[in-house]
Amino acid sequence: MRGVTAALLALSALIVGTAASRPAEWRWNLPEGVAPPPVPADNPMSVAKVELGRRLFHDADLSIDGTMSCATCHSQRRGFADRTSTRPGVHGDPGKHNVPGLANVAYLTPLTWADPRQTRLQEQALVPVFGDHPVEMGMKGQEAELARRLGGDRCYRRMFRAAFPETRGRIDAEAVAKALAAFQRTMLSFNSAYDRYRRGESGAAPSSEALAGEGLFTRHCTACHAGENFTDQRFHALSHGATATDGGLGEITGLTEDHGRFRTPGLRNVALSGPYFHDGSLETIAEAIAQHGGTVPAFSEVERDALLAFLDTLTDQDFASNQSFGYPEKACGKPLL
Amino acid sequence: MLRLLAPALALTLLAQPLAAQEHEHATCEAGTVALPADLAGWNDRQPMNAGTRENRLETAALVLGQAYDTTLSRTPDVRYIVRPEKPGGSVSYGGIFALDVTEAGTYRVALGSAAWIDVVRGETVIQSGKFGHGPDCTGVRKMVEFALEPGRYVIQIAANGQADLPLLVSRLN
């Protein structure tokens, strides 16, 4: 009897221990009819991983001199885009592309303006941190330094253990990137005025001008700005294309016909995320529309204003102010800085 | 004529009203061009150590129009009154300074880097006004304007890449 009891106790301890070490599952909070974004099998979601990724996203220790975090360029109030045309790196190197917003980035592939190879968030996250074309956060060759910085913080060690029990909380570039990716996957934006109107919510009807703009947009723009996120996720060339220092997709493929082709940007929160185009050279949406010559009609002033009114309905202020995406007030139960 | 143009140029560079303090800058050697009148004190800098606590700012009190070569502290050693929007990592530098304003007006904080600037009164962050970079080749990397009423303010500097930081606060009008 004693032996049976001992075995049962050991079994229950094992069960409890397993449950305790398994990170709490992530629960998606999505409107009805919206499917969760794809999650790679090698980087499942968990509450602990998202929490860690959020802290890392806002931590400037991911840059060589501690001055630049992901959030430095991906500013929440701008839909996680940037006010500058292209952001210089920590050493002052000019940026190459305008910083894209991150609304619903988990649904997008490829992820960047001109690199079709960047299809996974956990791989793309390493580019600004460790990349050198251009240098952004300046950590190339500093993987050990990054691990030293984060590992020197007792709370980070605890957070990594909770997020990555399978490696016993190993702190390295791979884990950092996976946590960042998990957090970015939670950056969901489905509560713009247009979303609410489409869901039939009362009081969400756009103005007649915006509805007229929707009609124009549907007729003339959705060949490229298609789908829930207003992008066909393909590469196109407009007259405002390649520059001497930026050949777009052609730089990657080496094909002449790809020279000056860039991925169609999504338009969620477009009113927050200027300046526009791959090089951020256009200050206003009106200028950006005007640069689509040849692919859309020459809009009259009334039509342009209608389009602008429609595009304004794509702003999701909840997304731009949601505390769960912002700088974490606390970590491990204690205030941060 | 050139003396008239120079302040106008500086104002042009500050023409973007921004809530955030984003920056772009030209790279060239500092000190190779003449300064506009409203930045005239920039090259005559006095040393000053930044404070790390609000109640220990006697030796970190800024004088308007006087430029300083400030020495910042490691960020983890600084106790900010209000958490900066861009607080900087553990390997960055920061610090706080006192500023007494006796007349209402527009004041400008100019830095030799793109560090984050907050101007705080009590526990309230003063909304920044126009933002820009200094004239190229002057070493003035960033300028942010604030409308201030008379009183005691604390200037918070955060997310600087090194301990040394040139700083000048001046009244514009």
Closest approach of A67 to chain B, Cα-based (Å): 5
Residue B14 pLDDT > 70, yes or no?
no
Dist. CA A249–CA B116, nearest whole Å:
35
Cis check: omega of the bond before A328, within 30 degrees of 0: no
pLDDT at B10 over 60: no
| A95: closest chain B residue by CA | B24
Once rounded to an integer, what is the mean pLDDT over residues A244-251?
A: 87
Distance (Å, whole) CA A164 – CA A187: 21
pLDDT tens figures, A83-130: 999 999 999 899 999 999 999 999 999 999 999 999 999 999 999 999
CB-side neighbour CA atoms (13 Å) of A280? 20
At residue B117, what are phi and psi to the nearest 5 degrees?
Answer: -120, 130
- Specify the higher pLDDT residue, A58 or B39: A58
Share of chain B above pLDDT 70, in %: 82
Interchain CB contact of A273 with B (< 8 Å): no
Looking at the partner chain, which of A62, A88, A153 has a beta carbon nearest the beta carbon of B25? A88
* Facing B92 at nearest CB: one of A66, A78, A83: A66
What's the whole-number average pLDDT of chain B? 86
Task: Kindly report the backbone phi and psi dihedral angles of residue A5, in degrees, each rounded to the nearest multiple of 5, phi listed first.
Answer: -60, -45
Q: What angle do CA A147, A153, A158 make, to 5 degrees?
A: 90
A54 contacts A328 by C-beta, under 8 angstroms: yes
Q: Among A37-51, A115-129, A170-184, B128-142, name the one with the lowest average pLDDT.
A: B128-142
Copy the structure tokens of residue B17. 């009203």
What is the bridge-based pairing of β-strands A334-335 and A330-331? antiparallel
The single-letter code of the amino acid at B106 is T
Contact check, Cβ <8 Å, A83/B80: no
**Helix, strand, coil % (nearest 5) of chain B?**
15, 40, 45
Distance from CA of A84 to the nearest CA of B (A): 6
- The alpha carbon dihedral of A139, A144, A148, A151 has a sign of positive
Looking at residue B21, its pLDDT comes to 56
Q: What is the mean pLDDT of residues B124-148?
A: 93
Q: Which residues contact B138 (CB under 8 A, 6 or more apart)?
A: B30, B31, B33, B35, B39, B42
Interchain CB contact of A85 with B (< 8 Å): yes
% of chain A beyond a pLDDT of 70: 93
Report ipTM for this prediction: 0.82
Point out the least confidently predicted range of A63-77, B13-27, B140-154.
B13-27
A128: closest CA among A97, A104, A152, A150?
Answer: A97
Which residues of chain A are within 8 Å of residue B91 when distances are taken between CB atoms? Answer: 61, 65-66, 149
pLDDT at B30: 62
Mean pLDDT of A21-26: 78
Judged by CB atoms closer than 8 Å, whether chains meet at B27 and A92 is answered as yes
The percent of residues in chain A predicted with pLDDT above 90, rounded, is: 87
Q: Is A259 on the interface with B (CB under 8 A)?
A: no
Mean pLDDT, rounded, for B157-164: 98
Structure tokens at A331: 């970590």
pLDDT digits (tens, 9 = 90+) for B90-106: 999 999 999 999 999 99
Contacts of B94 in chain A (CB under 8 A): none
Cα–Cα distance for residue pair A304/A300, rounded to 1 Å: 6
pLDDT(A13) > 50: no
Using 50, 70 and 90 to split pLDDT, how confident is the model at B11? very low
- Tell which residue, A255, A284, A231, has the closest CA to residue A112: A231
Q: Is B26 a residue whose pLDDT tops 60? A: no
The reply to whether residue B25 touches residue A65, judged by beta carbons under 8 angstroms, is: no
pLDDT exceeds cutoff 80 at A12? no
Q: Do B24 and A90 touch (CB under 8 A)?
A: no
* CA angle centred on B46, ends B50 and B113, rounded to 5°: 60
Chain B residues with CB-CB distance to A67 below 8 A? 88-89, 92, 114-115, 159-161
Query: In this structure, how many other beta carbons lie within 10 angstroms of the beta carbon of residue B19?
Result: 14
Smallest Cα–Cα separation from B46: which of B30, B62, B27? B62
B138: closest CA among B108, B160, B97, B168? B168
Interface check B92 vs A, CB under 8 A:
yes
At B135 the pLDDT is: 87
Give the residue from A301, A307, A289 showing the smallest Cα distance to A238: A289
Which residues on B lie below 8 Å from A90 (Cβ)?
A: 161
Please identify which residue in the block is written with the tokens 């050139």.
Answer: B2
- pLDDT for the residue A271: 98
Q: Please give the pLDDT value at position B6.
A: 40
- B24–A86 CB contact, under 8 Å: yes
- Contact between A80 and A68 (Cβ < 8 Å): no
**How confident is the model over B150-165, as a mean pLDDT?**
98
CA distance B14 to B23: 11
Strand partners, B164: B71
pLDDT at A23: 72
Q: What is the pLDDT of residues A133-158, one digit of tens each?
A: 999 999 999 999 999 999 999 999 99
Residue A15, pLDDT above cutoff 70: no
Instruction: Identify the residue among A56, A58, A67 best suited for mutation to test binding to B, counting B beta carbons within 10 A and taking the highest.
Output: A67
Note the pTM of the prediction, 2 decimals: 0.88
